[in-house]
Amino acid sequence: MSSVPSMQTATDSYFLFRLINDAHSPVGDMFFGVVSGLGDGLVIALLCSLVMLFHLRLGIASMLAFIVSGLFAQLLKRIFDMPRPPAILDNVHVLGHSLTSHSFPSGHSTSDGVMVLLAFLIWSRFDLRSWAIAALFVLAAIGRIYGGVHFPIDVAVGLTLGMATMWLFWRWSKCWPIESWQASQWSWKTPGFIVAVQAAVLGLGYHMQPSTAQPLALIMPVAALLVLMHVWKGKLG
């Protein structure tokens, strides 16, 4: 298939893409170049594992939602095989490597969508922390447009897919025997081990997507290990 959206939708998407992508600046490049990396698969997996240390039900639900929504997004990419902005538009401002195929939907934005809803499930819609974290991941998704690798429709569908999948897994998780799982020491040892492995992989030469977000490969492992040490100190103390 080569045409999912209607001609009018495509035209509107191109206009909005230009509005965001053409508004580039050195400060914007620095900000979105790093923030858009929050949707990288290993970063999201690490964050979900960290959530498991504090909210086991939400952590497992978010990890499953991340994996399932990511696989579904990759399937849709192969089915529709939509071209990316640099393949059909001129003078696209690109952060990192220029990509040309499998644009719809955005995989990064799908992962961002999982985190957007997760923020409101951890706290509530009345808590400013929820809105702050959700806004950060929405900006990360918008960064895929700013960075010249996705159209707005790719990002919008990705965010929706991620949030919908997270909601479904959250609903399903309510019938899980979490209380019995939490009675075992493995309920925190297993996520802790996973966090340690993911932090090691991320910090030891992992190539971020986009490449401009490489500083996250240094910041995230250190932050994750500090959190892990704090949790383990409390559990073992």
How would residue 8 be classed by pLDDT, with cut points 50, 70 and 90?
low
- In this structure, what token pair is assigned to residue 158? 């990705």
Look up residue 235 and give its amino acid: K
Q: Average the pLDDT over 46-67 and give the result.
A: 97
Q: Evaluate whether 168 touches 158 at the Cβ level (below 8 Å).
A: no
Tell me which of 75-79, 97-101, 174-178 is least confident: 97-101
pLDDT at 143 over 60: yes
Q: Evaluate whether 88 touches 150 at the Cβ level (below 8 Å).
A: no
Neighbours of 55 (CB within 10 A): 16
Neighbours of 154 (CB within 10 A): 31
How would residue 178 be classed by pLDDT, with cut points 50, 70 and 90?
very high
Can you say whether the dihedral through the CA atoms of 191, 67, 177, 54 is positive or negative?
positive
Look up residue 113 and give its amino acid: G
Q: Average the pLDDT over 71-84 and give the result.
A: 96
- In this structure, what token pair is assigned to residue 170? 């959250």
pLDDT at 2 over 50: no
How many angstroms separate the CA atoms of 68 and 82, rounded?
21
From the list 146, 134, 63, the residue with the least C-alpha distance to 106 is 146
Q: What is the DSSP letter of 1?
A: -
Give CA separation, 17 vs 6, 14, 148, in Å.
16, 5, 8
Q: Average the pLDDT over 132-143 and give the result.
A: 98
Look up residue 228 and give its amino acid: L
Check residue 233 and give its pLDDT.
Answer: 85
